Structure 1
Amino acid sequence: MEEVGERDPVTGRMTTGHDWNGITELNTPVPRVVIFFLVVTTIFSIVYWILMPSWPLGSTYTKGLLGIDQKHVVQTQLEHAAAQREGWMKQIASDDFAAIQANPALMQIVHETGKTLFGDNCAVCHGINGTGGKGFPNLKAAAWLWGGDPQTIYQTLTAGINSANAETRTSQMPAFGRDGVLNVGQIDDVVAYVRSLGGSTDNIGITPEKVARGKEVFQANCVACHGGDAKGNHDMGAPNLTDPVWIYGGDRQSITASVYGGRQGHMPSWQDRLSDAQRKILTLYVLSLPEQRS
């Protein structure tokens, strides 16, 4: 081991006298900048401990000379936000839909708050963007079963569809095949006719003969709900069969399943879950979804 005090010929620094396999340790002092920041952070910590709440003392803690209480700060902020929210919620609750739509400030709130309400309550069925899925309507398509004006949508949100609410909207498609109303041939014909109307995604195997027979079956069994032109009926919640928007699918198999087994969708009543103002916000937000198409 070399003696302490030898000067390294490369760096010019003194060594510590320690040697490991021919490698000597330099006696390098701690950089001053490190000492500076250690001093600064130590002073900051002491000042912070004196001014701010910091040290636990059994069931309490040191309050600090400034007396800052983060719990109180957050509570004050929440109260302030609630007071602001109460103002525009009351205005939305009292104004009619036309007045709200004519107020840009309120509509900005509708878009911001409505998105949150929709995500928390409606997205599980209709999707986060409102595009729906099999068995759940695509709200961006604006193919409203009961009508697309604000009051109608508001009523649907309030009472629900086939729900437990006393004023629920009621809609059901009979099971024409399962209940023996139509035989297999008639179902095949009427499905061919529906697929010929222009909205189906599957036109394979359609013949003029099937379409003609299917039209007769349709007129005898389906026009009461879907109308003679097959464009649906808002009074009964019957969908338009001539457009490309389908809840359960527009291919041959899906349409056949609907005719054979029937359909009965369900939407809960939001009357007891959301306030009047919240339902109005959701109504206007849902109405804005078709405009948000990418």
Structure 2
Amino acid sequence: MSEKKVDETTGVETTGHSWDGIEELNNPLPRWWLWTLYATIIWGIGYVIAYPAWPMISSATSGVLGYSTRGEVAAQIAEHEAENAQLVAQLNEADLATLAPGDDLHRYAVSRGGAVFKAQCSQCHGSGAAGATGYSNLLDNDWLWGGDIENIALTIRHGIRNETDLDARYSEMPAYDEVFEDDEIDAVVEYVYSLSRSEADATLAAAGSELFLDNCAACHGDNAEGNRDLGAPNLGDAIWLYGGDRAALEYTVRNARYGVMPAWGQRLSDEDVRAVSVYVHSLGGGE
């Protein structure tokens, strides 16, 4: 049996391990640290026995306590739905146009609709519903398909130009790149630009006016005030979905636009559709 070696400098026994002449001291761990380690091991063993822990093929071990965080959340959701069941039933049966701001049902619809909007709609329309290029501002009173609550609900439920709902709002502007010559496109763009700008070229705009009446007025109207039945925007109010400068207008005339909105009636419950409709209508732009 070899004799234990003691470090001369510290007087501590060494382990016998040496690296480049440096020997490892055999300093034992503090007792409190060891007991803490043992306690955590015992606690860990108890935890994996009591709670779900080990992943299996299609689930995890349930543990002797049968605890489930998903089950706890499901119970809380069920409790919440039970508390609001009467309001949900009233919301599903209510005439949305007659809901009076300030009453319990209207407050509930706005609160619920606001939560749905933030979770499902804010990604496109913005957290404050002010929209962005290509995504409608829901705060103003400029509506492509109508801003009364029935039309808002219809748009939300069926969407716009999607291919999943046969009742989706649908309109399509032709691309005039192969219809008009370049100078004709310039003239139409100048005319549309002149409807909301005073610095337009009057001569060029006058030529564009004739082209507009022959080709565009069928949807946008003789006075370019739009047609909500067709989703055709008002071109004279200086409110633009894709931008109203000459470059943006030229791109629109040449290539057209084809924005798509999903049919939320296929994804949300009817009460959620109705609630978010009330919420959008209450933002200030609803008619």
State the TM-score, normalizing by the size of structure 2. Answer: 0.72
Indicate how the Cα distance of structure 1 residues 94 and 210 shifts in structure 2: closer, same or farther if over 3 A, else same.
same
Indicate how the Cα distance of structure 1 residues 159 and 76 shifts in structure 2: closer, same or farther if over 3 A, else same.
closer
Could you tell me whether the CA contact under 8 Å between 2:191 and 2:208 is conserved in 1?
yes
Deviations 1:196-237 (A, max 9, x none): 112x5xx65x22211110110110111011001111001100
- Once the two structures are aligned, what percentage of the paired residues are identical? 36
Indicate how the Cα distance of structure 1 residues 78 and 216 shifts in structure 2: closer, same or farther if over 3 A, else same.
closer
The answer to whether the aligner puts 1:243 opposite 2:237 as a matched pair is yes
Secondary structure of the 1:140 match is: coil
Matches within 5 A, 1:58-137: 59-60=49-50, 77-101=76-100, 104-137=103-136
Deviations 1:66-86 (A, max 9, x none): xxx997987765443221122
Could you tell me whether the CA contact under 8 Å between 1:159 and 1:269 is conserved in 2?
yes
* Range that drifts further, 273-282 or 94-103: 94-103
1:165 corresponds to which letter in structure 2? D
Q: Distance in 1 between matches of 2:180 and 2:78?
A: 63
Q: What's the counterpart of residue 153 of structure 2?
A: 154
Displacement after TM superposition at 1:60 (Å): 3.4
Could you tell me whether the CA contact under 8 Å between 1:141 and 1:245 is conserved in 2?
no
Deviations 1:40-85 (A, max 9, x none): xxxxxxxxxxxxxxx9476239xxxxxxx99798776544322112
Q: What's the counterpart of residue 11 of structure 2?
A: none
Q: What's the counterpart of residue 210 of structure 1?
A: 204
Matches within 5 A, 1:226-241: 226-241=220-235
Secondary structure of the 1:258 match is: helix
Secondary structure of the 1:290 match is: coil
Specify which of 260, 278, 286 is matched with residue 284 of structure 1. Answer: 278
Deviations 1:157-196 (A, max 9, x none): 111111120111111111101xx21111111111111111
1:106 corresponds to which letter in structure 2? L
Q: How many matched pairs? A: 225
Q: Distance in 2 between matches of 1:124 and 1:60?
A: 41
Consecutive unaligned residues of structure 1, counting only runs of 5 or more, are 1-54, 62-68
Q: What's the counterpart of residue 172 of structure 1?
A: 172
1:196 corresponds to which letter in structure 2? S
The answer to whether the aligner puts 1:252 opposite 2:242 as a matched pair is no
State the TM-score, normalizing by the size of structure 1. Answer: 0.70
Secondary structure of the 1:59 match is: helix
Q: What's the counterpart of residue 191 of structure 1?
A: 189
2:108 corresponds to which letter in structure 1? I
Q: Distance in 2 between matches of 1:145 and 1:88?
A: 31
Consecutive unaligned residues of structure 2, counting only runs of 5 or more, are 1-44, 52-66
2:117 corresponds to which letter in structure 1? F
Higher CA-based Rg: 1
Could you tell me whether the CA contact under 8 Å between 1:171 and 1:265 is conserved in 2?
no
Could you tell me whether the CA contact under 8 Å between 2:147 and 2:285 is conserved in 1?
no
